[in-house]
Structure 1
Amino acid sequence: MYPLPLVKRVKLFWSSLKGWISENFPEALRTLSKGASEAQIRSAEDDLGFKLPMPTKLLYRFCNGQLPFSRNHFEDVRMAPLGIIGGYVFYDHSVNVHLSSLEQMVEETKEFNLDLEEQGLPIGPNLALVASSWYHPKTFILNCSSGDLYVGTANLSAGEMMPCVPKSLIKPTDSDMPQDGLLLWLEEHLRRLQNGMIKIRPLKTSRYICLYPEASPLCSSAVTNGVKVRASAVFAPEHPYGGHPGTYLYSYSIRLSVPEACMLGGVYFSSCQLHSRHWIIRCKDTVVSDVNGEGVIGKVCWNQKGKLISAS
């Protein structure tokens, strides 16, 4: 039923991801469901009214996504930051994306289509919601006809979404090695976890997969007088930035640390205080932000040897 090379590929993906989670993020391992049966997949397809792409079916055969919301508020609060897709936090905007189970996919897809119908908007062909955030809404949608994967914008209620994977990489079911947007996207996510591009970071009393890149070329780094500064950004199209159509938000994260010691005037210090900041953010040759002011407004930040300060 499934091509053997594709079965081996999906099996390797899940065994590698579960191995990484077990070693680095064990609290999230318990949120992964066992694989879905063919009967469960057919039932989901019947409820949706269309077939899922072959690679997506295989992904669910090995693991039926993550556990959905329960009726236990405290359990939901505990599980909210444990999305295997990860997320980010800036100001009052929190995102943490979970891979949906088949049951959750069907339920949320029907709700999405109903919302569009009530607004008199055309429903896209064979769209399924495959992943979503438990905090502020961020939704990933798979076109089950073409295999394209999209992320919803702040205007998703009007059907606006953006592609996540280059169309040239997607191969249809009748190819030697079919691959849809969801499989390619998850494999790239795993690659970033394995090579340390993204890492586990603390979040209040919990931990989460932080999507701010921490390695080159997606992260800039410089050391001055022993103080190391790293800067990176995430794209947050779901944020209602300014409310202007076609305007989308990037959030940047600045992380400061003193790996060894701070040196000033030939004297070494084990700690230093952040007094002021000045950084320039460019898009190609255009300056989009020039920040010059107090260190961190409302906070007194001390950098100590081996410790990290993060601002976003």
Structure 2
Amino acid sequence: MGLEDAGDLVLHIVLSKIGPENTARVACVSKRLKVSASEESLWSIFCSNDLNISTPLDPHGDPAPSFKRAYQLWRESFRMYPWNLVKRVRLCWDNLKQWLTLNFPEAKATLRKGVTEDDLQEFETSLKVKLPLPTRLLYRFVDGQELSSPNGLDGSLGLIGGYSAYSHDVNVYLLPLKEVMRETKESFMRDLGFSSRLDLIVMAASVVASLKIFLLDCTTGQLFTGTSNRQLLPCVPDALVRSVHDTNGDQQQDAMLLWLEEHGRRLQTGTINVRQQNNVKSISLFPEIPPLCSVSVTNGVQVRASSVFIPEISNLRDQPPAYWYAYSIRMSLMPEGCILNGTHHSSCQLYWRHWVIRADNEVIDNVNGEAVIGKV
């Protein structure tokens, strides 16, 4: 019994399992198989599985006449890239956009429409670099973020997020391609002394307040952030970065893609989240879920302590090296309220604090004194 002898339902199930490429081959066998292989319900499955689209749309977001035609347009538009990498990058952006839609629509509104292959070629020619394939695809889908609003520069909507420590405020945006070109040529690279590294480009930066940048090595695919003494710290383990310029196979991943995927996972799991301070919302990089933070409950009061490394003011050439961290202490009442001597209280006030700060099990600071007055 061959495929042509199978019933319509069985044939539909078989074709849906073998995937779009093999389905296209089956369509060449006979007229009946061609009809079955062209069914809209079948190609809607392929579009959903590969592209996460529920209506037939082309890569520009415009309506296509059918799911099959939509799939063809996507494959044609990205024919120069490994298809598995295309699907992976699209999923990365879909996850980020979905989270932003639900939790931070103001930041989602800053995401720019993806660039064209001509734009990428012009960029590479101008800077004399060859972008890693995953980063090229990231910009094909989204051209970074708008850096201005009708009211001027807004420094709180960065996709990468940030932190605040006293007067040191950081909020990092993913830069649009033209801004990557401009900043790489003009300001950041010259001011920070990286101009001799012709393979480094500025990918993300804090656009106001304190300076923090992310630099991509176009040759190796590694992503770096800089320290105060111009050292480069890798953002992901080197062993995970591979095949960044290989158009064959399906093992391509650079640090930019890996970092954004992990960033998306942390957002989706609630490890990091949006915080609001003085009516200003932003993505905070202070972890909110153990084991990346410490949580303790005493007398009905929950205290959560977390910290983030601040590379841009650290100096690893000092003796000993100076590693700077920002810490966050968040206090809240449990639903049952504060319980003291068996009595329940609906509010309480912090009047004394005792912080023991350790590094590698060594106490480096011991703060014991009157606290900032405020309600918990």
Aligned residues: percent identity?
A: 48
2:323 aligned partner: 248
Matched letter for residue 45 of structure 1: E
Larger radius of gyration: 2
Q: Corresponding residue for 2:172?
A: 97
User: Gaps spanning 5+ residues in structure 2: where?
Assistant: 1-79
Alignment of 1:222-261 (within 5 A): 222-239=296-313, 244=318, 246-260=321-335, 261=337
> Quick one: structure 1 residues 27 and 54, their matched pair in 2 at CA, closer, same or farther if it must change by over 3 Å?
same
Alpha-carbon distance in 1 for matches of 2:127, 2:303? 48
SS in 2 for 1:263: strand
Of 133, 136, 142 in structure 2, the residue corresponding to residue 54 of structure 1 is 133
- Are 1:75 and 2:152 matched, yes or no? yes
Deviations along 1:65-93, one digit per CA (max 9) or x if unpaired, are 001347x6x321xx310001001112111
> RMSD of aligned C-alpha atoms?
1.9
Q: Which has the higher contact order (CA 8 A, sep 6+)?
A: 1
The answer to whether the Cα contact below 8 Å between 2:229 and 2:316 also exists between their aligned partners in 1 is: no
C-alpha distance in 2, partners of 1:242/1:12?
A: 37
Contact 2:175-2:205 at 8 Å conserved across structures: yes
Aligned length: 290
Which residue of the partner structure matches residue 356 of structure 2? 280
Structure 2 partner of 1:309: none
**Contact persistence 1:68–1:104 (CA under 8 A):** no
Q: Which has the higher helix share?
A: 2
The letter for the 1-side match of 2:366 is D
User: Where does residue 35 of structure 1 map in the other structure?
Assistant: 114
Structure 1 distance, partners of 2:195, 2:108, is 38
Question: Where does residue 277 of structure 2 map in the other structure?
Answer: 203
Q: Is the 8 A contact 2:229 2:317 kept in 1?
A: no
Task: Pick closer, same or farther for the CA change 1:122–1:113 going to 2, 3 Å.
Answer: closer
Seen in structure 2, the aligned counterparts of structure 1 residues 50 and 197 have a Cα distance that, compared at 3 Å, is: same
- Cα distance in 2 for partners of 1:166, 1:242 equals 19
Change (3 A) 1:68 1:171: same
Question: Partner amino acid for 1:271?
Answer: S
1:169 has 2:240 as partner: yes
Deviations 1:186-205 (A, max 9, x none): 10000000000001110322
Q: Do 2:205 and 2:212's aligned partners in 1 also have CA atoms closer than 8 Å?
A: yes
Name the CA distance, whole Å, in 2 between partners of 1:195 and 1:23: 13
**1:242/1:146 Cα in 2 relative to 1: closer, same or farther (>3 Å)?**
closer
Do residues 128 (structure 1) and 229 (structure 2) align?
no
- Runs of 5+ consecutive residues of structure 1 not aligned to the other structure: 304-312
Q: Tell me if the contact between 1:281 and 1:289 (Cα under 8 Å) persists in the aligned partners.
A: yes
Aligned residue for 1:11, secondary structure, equals helix
Residue 206 of structure 1 deviates from its aligned partner by 1.7
Please state whether the residue corresponding to 2:296 is helix, strand or coil: strand
| Alpha-carbon distance between aligned partners in 1 of 2:215 and 2:360, rounded to the nearest angstrom | 30
Report Cα offsets for 1:240-280 as digits up to 9, x if no partner: 67995741201111111102200001100001110111121
**Deviation at residue 5 of structure 1 after TM alignment:** 0.4
- Preserved CA contact (<8 Å) 1:93 1:136: yes
Aligned ranges 1:145-224 → 2 under 5 Å: 145-156=219-230, 160-172=231-243, 173-174=245-246, 176-224=250-298
> 1:125–1:145: 8 Å Cα contact kept in structure 2?
no
* 1:176 CA displacement: 2.6
